[in-house]
Amino acid sequence: MKVGFIGMGNMGAPMAKNLLGAGHDVAVWNRTASKAQPLQAQGARVVKTPGEAARDAEVVVSMLADDSAVEAAVLGPDGIVGALPKGAVHVSSSTISVALSERMTKAHADAGQGYVSAPVFGRPEAAAGKQLWVVTAGPKADVDRVRPLLTALGRGLTELGETASAANVVKLSGNFLIASMMEALSEAFALTEKSGVERAAFLDVFKSVFARAPIFENYAGAIAKGQYTPAGFALRLGLKDVTLALEAGRHAEVPLPLASLLRDHFLTGVAQGRGDEDWSALGALAQERAGLPKKG
Amino acid sequence: MKVGFIGMGNMGAPMAKNLLGAGHDVAVWNRTASKAQPLQAQGARVVKTPGEAARDAEVVVSMLADDSAVEAAVLGPDGIVGALPKGAVHVSSSTISVALSERMTKAHADAGQGYVSAPVFGRPEAAAGKQLWVVTAGPKADVDRVRPLLTALGRGLTELGETASAANVVKLSGNFLIASMMEALSEAFALTEKSGVERAAFLDVFKSVFARAPIFENYAGAIAKGQYTPAGFALRLGLKDVTLALEAGRHAEVPLPLASLLRDHFLTGVAQGRGDEDWSALGALAQERAGLPKKG
Amino acid sequence: MKVGFIGMGNMGAPMAKNLLGAGHDVAVWNRTASKAQPLQAQGARVVKTPGEAARDAEVVVSMLADDSAVEAAVLGPDGIVGALPKGAVHVSSSTISVALSERMTKAHADAGQGYVSAPVFGRPEAAAGKQLWVVTAGPKADVDRVRPLLTALGRGLTELGETASAANVVKLSGNFLIASMMEALSEAFALTEKSGVERAAFLDVFKSVFARAPIFENYAGAIAKGQYTPAGFALRLGLKDVTLALEAGRHAEVPLPLASLLRDHFLTGVAQGRGDEDWSALGALAQERAGLPKKG
Amino acid sequence: MKVGFIGMGNMGAPMAKNLLGAGHDVAVWNRTASKAQPLQAQGARVVKTPGEAARDAEVVVSMLADDSAVEAAVLGPDGIVGALPKGAVHVSSSTISVALSERMTKAHADAGQGYVSAPVFGRPEAAAGKQLWVVTAGPKADVDRVRPLLTALGRGLTELGETASAANVVKLSGNFLIASMMEALSEAFALTEKSGVERAAFLDVFKSVFARAPIFENYAGAIAKGQYTPAGFALRLGLKDVTLALEAGRHAEVPLPLASLLRDHFLTGVAQGRGDEDWSALGALAQERAGLPKKG
């Protein structure tokens, strides 16, 4: 396929290289032109504007830093929308806002072009090693068309339906999960260190008990299904344990804001009559706050 | 060894059975006597009080529901402290408060007895299958003495030093990590569902990207070492992404309190000059809040 | 009346002096005896133990720093419970836990003594000037008996029913309101200062608009009655404005954790269909979290 | 003066009427024209577009619902920027974002026009009774020019310097203070009600102790000055009391998320060595989180 690739950062460059390796004809663009040079040696054509990369492409892929970079390259002067042929498809892999993804959905539709959102999970090394996980959403015909490219970028693909911005929400939710785990780890290390535990020792426990174990997967499954009874570990015991952690924090003088948040949610669960459900019924509370119909 | 075992709940019973299986001589006690019967069939002696189980034991292990149950069995009338021979050791495996663990440390020391804290990670099935992970702390001589029992209970052991209550803090921190991940998953499912993503599809992404992957382990290592430069993913990008998640939440009308907490912490990091460090520098912020000396 | 007074701190001393001034016969005790001396010059009898102060008193008032000081003076050796005559009343004015207040309720009842909880609002200057506000709860007969003393301590009295610990909850709630306002002010000053506003100028606005104005009183009335319609200012506008404040905070790099909390609550209100109610419907959300029956 | 007034909502209409009453010549515009009719009876000229109201005005005042309404009226077709004579001034009284205020600052400057931000505090009744409090910021010459109008709108004025958007931050901070107090009251009512206190009784305490008292004013002064020693009430006692409130909340099953936030902040203060400062040192913590230089 004739492909335009916008953005030669530490993610975009190895992704473009993988498309070249899969036999596609690739034109690349980067705001700082020098970063595009290495791709030329590997067979890419370097162009001067996003529009030039899109001009006669069947598919143009963009992988940029943030909303303003994407907005400029797609909707700005000499941008993708103005140049992409009717019927060709824009694949947006950047981590951007839902609002911008919705604006691009409309702009491409108005121009008779296709638009697919396809953010990726993985670091630059994963991009280089074709180990990214791609999540995608958009009109079925467009996704069908670009699927060979998406599968050339990584080790797997989850398709999320016809609303392109849904893939952006999933990418943002994934980064939110990582940040949450880091915050939880940060507080746990602070608490254990100030209680006299070597950081290396707590790391050893974490690796032995949690890392690569099915525990998070199992809880994710329970929350996905909204199945909170019978309780494996009752929510009121969750309240007990997080309260004990907070007391340990007061004892050692360690603030634990995430634990405070959990305590409030567990206590809400108990106050609302869910004390004997499984502690993963945190999932039910989140749904109720959001005004979603109850599961389970 | 001659062992007393206090508490035949769904954790205590399989643990006592494993000690029997390892060839130890075990006397068991439970508040509701009927629950101790099945162990009798497997060779245990059933006794009438915690004191009786401790009377001529070399080691007594307790595995009970909460602080008040442990307090009654250990410090109450006909309890362990009153009956355990001098030089014998009490191994406390319950999930209890730091304050109670410190009180028992003192009470046993005053009585010339040993005291080791040894909470376990794992569900009843893991207890039955000898798959628990044990964390332990206490005076070295006491830990040396009971190590054969601890290794008979599970698949591994992390030793945490001579302050018994440190093992309780680690156990509470572990449960806190699980609850944190459940809360993060709960919010992520609420956000993606209300944005039109099937819960099964988001579960598929979670399993493919996070579950059993080294990602959390890698971040735990960075936070343990306090190594936040060079940035793999800059903290100011973390602020950007969590802000986008909150905007997506407002768009779909989904409150995300854990994301709000993360936003405040990332923004604090940026305001304090850490915007270009890795986003795992959340760990540095937790240390500073706790008044710990800076790492990294 | 014959009165014992326990605790000659910066609150207790002026309170005891007011009782002397009202013509009562007062025996005073303090852990550090020297602090009781000034009262002697004003006609008080200084005694050696709390029990001695209680021995032949009709009423004993205690005003101490915290739970452990109260526990020692009331339930400890040579304490109030052991010495107070049957039918005499203990008035507890300290800021203590609900749990300790409940234990004292029981201990005094078991001993045939009366017990009234009567915490006070006001600083030492207010105590000296008889400007305290007293909140009290306990059995009606006991409150009737000590009312002349309570009115001698301050400018007014709110009676809260027969459950003594209710007065402790109200005192703790009052201190919580003060701390909340300080936190809100702290965040607002940080935001405005970093946005270029002199702290003195924002203080001027605060004094002109809020201080001593009926605004908080009016909202307290609405929340007390659970009357959230018609909206004076709609909850969805509250969400708009707190979101704008958070955006201003991001712009100026000022974390606003209390604003984040408010945003989540307003967004929950909108998601649950309360967007067109008055923004004081935060009160309805708090009731629902607590599992209380709905108002309004 | 010749004045244009944009927006005849429940705030704009009485404000415009006060300008008429002060003898000014006023042209009014409203998106829904019928709402402008009552002003005609009082001497105003009703016009068809914002531009028409601005065309030959010396000052144009706008009072609209939100960012999008202001953006349309000011920057849209036939809007204020396109029509206002050079040297004339736009006074923006709407509650809007800092970002939009900054955009208008630039747009008016580019067009050779003046721009002053002047949001108001007060309900429609206060607007009608000339009881609004106005906060204003902008270039000194522009503020000097419009001051007679601003003083005709309310009972007083605080001037905040030459950066127009600073007045918007102050308005948002004021609404944030109100919302914070409502949240605090909401949690306090939930806690006391579920602990058996009549809502009317707690309202009585609130009115007697806090409403219209100088307490909040005094703390605002301390935080403004950053004066946290000597302590009137030590931060570590604040930690004690808010912890007791949280324990009372657990006892009665009432989640108190604002109290949790306060606990974390007080505990951070203690961990960082501020336990003996006044509890208003919450202000110092907010400054440090924001990366502001320390006060006090």
The domain limits of chain A are 2-162, 169-289
Secondary structure string (H, E, C) spanning D220-251: HHHHHHCCCCCCCCEHHHHHHHHHHHHHHHHH
pLDDT digits (tens, 9 = 90+) for C66-111: 999 999 999 999 999 999 999 999 999 999 999 999 999 999 999 9
Tens of pLDDT along chain A (296 residues) come to 999 999 999 999 999 999 999 999 999 999 999 999 999 999 999 999 999 999 999 999 999 999 999 999 999 999 999 999 999 999 999 999 999 999 999 999 999 999 999 999 999 999 999 999 999 999 999 999 999 999 999 999 999 999 999 999 999 999 999 999 999 999 999 999 999 999 999 999 999 998 778 888 899 999 999 999 999 999 999 999 999 999 999 999 999 999 999 999 999 999 999 999 999 999 999 999 999 986 54
pLDDT at D296 exceeding the cut of 50: no
Closest to B203 (Cβ–Cβ): which among A159, A221, A255? A221
The residue behind tokens 């944009």 is: D6
Which pLDDT tens digit goes with each residue over B206-264?
A: 999 987 788 888 999 999 999 999 999 999 999 999 999 999 999 999 999 999 999 99
**List of chain C residues whose C-beta atoms are within 8 Å of the C-beta of residue B242:** none
**For residue B172, which of B262, B100, B279 has the smallest C-alpha distance?**
B100
Which residues in B lie closer than 8 A to residue C193 (C-beta atoms)? none
Using the predicted structure, report yes or no on whether residue C296 has a pLDDT greater than 60.
no
Min CA distance, D239 vs chain A (Å)? 10
Let me know if domain B2-161 sits in CATH 3.40.220.10.
Answer: no
Q: Which of B257, B268, B291 sits opposite D289 (nearest CB)?
A: B268
Q: What is the number of CB-based contacts under 8 A between chain C and chain D?
A: 358
Between strands D132-136 and D120-121, the pairing is antiparallel
Look at residue D95 and tell me whether its pLDDT is greater than 90: yes
Q: Which fold has domain C2-163?
A: Rossmann fold (3.40.50)
Distance CA B9, CA B18 (A): 14
Look at residue B295 and tell me whether its pLDDT is greater than 70.
no
Evaluate if residue C35 carries a pLDDT over 60: yes
Mutate to test the interface with D, among B260, B274, B289 (most CBs of D within 10 A): B289
Q: Cβ D247–C99 below 8 Å, yes or no?
A: yes
Is pLDDT above 90 for D28? Answer: yes
Active site residue A106: no
Q: Which of A171, A225, A294, A295 is catalytic?
A: A171
- Residue C212, pLDDT above cutoff 80: no
Q: Which residues of D touch A257 (CB under 8 A)?
A: 260-261, 264
The pLDDT assigned to A211 comes to: 79
Beta bridge partners, D4, equal D27, D60
Amino acid at B116: V
pLDDT of res. A137: 98
Long-range Cβ contacts of D32-35 (<8 Å, 24+ apart): D35/D8, D35/D9
Report pLDDT for B88: 98
Task: Characterize the bridge pairing of strands A89-92 and B25-29.
Answer: unpaired
Multiple choice CATH, A2-162, 3.40.50.1580, 3.40.50.720, 3.30.70.270, 3.40.50.300:
3.40.50.720
- Match domain D169-289 to its CATH number in 1.20.1050.10, 1.50.40.10, 1.10.1040.10, 3.40.50.20: 1.10.1040.10
Query: Which residues of chain C approach chain A closer than 8 Å at the C-beta?
Result: 257, 268, 271-273, 288-291
Average per-residue pLDDT in chain B? 95
Q: How far is CA B96 from CA B63, B99, B103, B167, in A?
A: 10, 8, 11, 10
pLDDT at C215: 86
pLDDT at D215: 86
pLDDT in tens, C257-276: 999 999 999 999 999 999 99
Tokens of B150: 């601890």
> Where residue B293 falls among pLDDT bands split at 50, 70, 90?
confident
Cβ pair B273:D289 closer than 8 A? no
Name which of B13-22, C203-212, C244-253, D77-86 the model is least confident about. Answer: C203-212
**pLDDT-derived band at D214, boundaries 50, 70, 90:** confident
Q: How far apart are CA B36 and CA B27, in angstroms?
A: 10
- The predicted model gives C142-151 an average pLDDT of 97
At A201, the amino acid letter reads A
Structure letter (DSSP) for residue C44: P
CA-CA distance, A209 to D53, in Å (whole number)?
A: 70
Residue B123's alpha-carbon distances to B15, B153, D22, in angstroms, are 11, 13, 78
